[in-house]
Chain A
């Protein structure tokens, strides 16, 4: 079976600064992969390349059968298959929770109002926020907003979910409620690629860990490499992280 996400020799520079220097990896269906590394190691850029929020200079990216590195890619199709959640939630402040969640299903997938509301109720139940369906984002805590953002992505029935440091703006307690939701998704078999600074969390749910260093994979393996790192760089990194 072909992988859900595949990077082959991906290069990317911001101006004169190389960020990805020939990155290659794959994510299989149902796999939970944690991308870790220092700030500036290229992990967030790699994640954003999956959803084509960044274009690459060289190399090939294939996501859910879409050739992302192709300039002529149909973004509307790619982005129906890929869900992404950001550090800053990015809920639409002028819309209620329900409207946030049903916006794309209604306009992109042409769902009718009733089935869209049912869908909103379903995904909100998944993140444990059924009672907030009519609230506005500003009435929610950071953790609740992030869970709504996750629900909004799930409503498109993506084949893979991307998480870009989704708990970095939250305090430990709110972090925990968001991580619980992600863990539950992992348990249900969702394919996920996470950029995270939560080493303990990565060690708990990741099937595989990719440690990035200076635009390349420096060390990769099962979650055990977080306990027993082989390279001095990962050793010093988790030494700080855990």
Chain B
């Protein structure tokens, strides 16, 4: 018999770690898919076309102006009304993507626009096409600026995956609730979960601060 650790039985630990796995998975989806869509959002936000710019602005404002929880409800409970089959995993992945894309899009738009106007102009004057200007001149400079806030936002993504527990997605918080229902040790179990989130997030915060310092020094 394996002894319990921190008052949690091995079986419950196994369940928690399985939940942790899904938390990491949801975070990765939020960051990767959200990053992909977010990049398109950032480009749209600085597009020459008023319509594209407007649509992107509406999207960003809608997502930023509604709680992630409500977004999850709309996807999970709302869409099946129209005949879409929506398992919790799919709803959670889509919600995390839409959520991250709006915020990452705004962060990256700011980074692109903080590359001085004169750099865009210099690229234009060298006869570079728009995509060449973006790829060769603007993006490499924006990337440096973008790294610290992007890594910082990953912390928000990780923490916000816990919202998916309300639609039955078996990530860490959801598993914690189940274990608590069985053991009635809310203080112990939620403190352990808090600790696990901290273990995921703190390295990201630390990395973000470190990168910020490093890039600042390199910039001088």
Contacts and interface: CB of A to CB of B under 8 A. Distances in A.
Interface string A168-185: 000000000000000000
Given A93-B141, A94-B140, A103-B136, A108 B128 contact: yes
Contacts of B196: none
Please report whether the interface of chain B is mostly helix, strand, loop or mixed according to DSSP: helix
Contacts of B119: 90, 92
A53 B128 contact: no
Given A93-B141, A94-B140, A103 B126 contact: yes
A82 B124 CA distance: 11
B127 A92 contact: no
A108 B124 CA distance: 11
Given A92-B137, A103-B136, A107-B136, A86 B118 contact: yes
Contacts of A156: 126-127
Contacts of B129: 76, 108
A104 B128 contact: yes
Contact of B126 (A53, A77, A108): A108
B137 to A, nearest CB: 6
Given A90-B118, A90-B121, A90-B122, A104 B127 contact: yes
A37 B125 CA distance: 24
Interface band, chain A: 20 to 34
B85 interface: no
Interface in B65-124: 118-119, 121-124
A80 B124 contact: no
A84 B125 contact: yes
B140 A107 contact: no
A51 interface: yes
B127 A88 contact: no
B122 A86 contact: yes
Nearest to B140: A94
A75 interface: yes
B152 to A, nearest CB: 22
A79 B124 contact: yes
A53 B121 contact: yes
Given A79-B126, A82-B125, 12 more contacts: A53-B124, A75-B127, A76-B129, A79-B124, A86-B118, A94-B141, A103-B128, A104-B127, A107-B128, A107-B132, A107-B136, A153-B125
Interface of A: 51, 53, 75-77, 79-80, 82-84, 86, 88, 90-94, 103-104, 107-108, 152-153, 156
15 contacts: A51-B125, A53-B125, A79-B125, A79-B126, A80-B127, A82-B125, A90-B122, A92-B122, A93-B141, A94-B141, A94-B144, A104-B128, A108-B126, A108-B127, A152-B126
